[in-house]
Amino acid sequence: MLSDNGNSVNSLREQLNTIREEQQRTEKSLERVQSELDTSRRAVDSLEESNRNAQRAVDRISEANSRIKESLDRSTEINKRSAELIGDSEQRISESRRILQEVRKTKEEP
């Protein structure tokens, strides 16, 4: 009977040793998983920061595009007014030339 108890005790020790080894492997696995989660969390944080930076860049580009559009609109209006002024000036110059020709004709008549 003592032999059976000795075998039972040895068997229990072996089982306990096996359980300890499995527990240690499990703990190491959990540590690896935690480490990988930490790495993933840092990667996500980095991506979020990159996204925020990209959004700020998009906002700056949008603002610059708005300013460019406003400048183009002003330039278009200025060009339109300039074309009108040029047309008016050309008309006045033509009229002035016609008047000058009439004055010359009148001067040349006896």
pTM of the model: 0.56
Q: What integer pLDDT is reported at residue 10 of this predicted model?
A: 87
Tokens of 31: 């540590």
Residue listed under structure tokens 């935690």: 34
Helices (H) and strands (E) in the chain, counts: 1, 0
pLDDT, tens digit only, all 110 positions of the chain: 445 666 788 889 999 999 999 999 999 999 999 999 999 999 999 999 999 999 999 999 999 999 999 999 999 999 999 999 999 999 999 999 999 999 988 887 76
Interatomic CA distance for residues 3 and 9, integer angstroms? 10
Burial, 74: exposed, middle or buried (Cβ in 10 Å; 0-12, 13-18, 19+)?
exposed
How many residues are recorded in the chain? 110
Residue listed under structure tokens 């002003």: 74
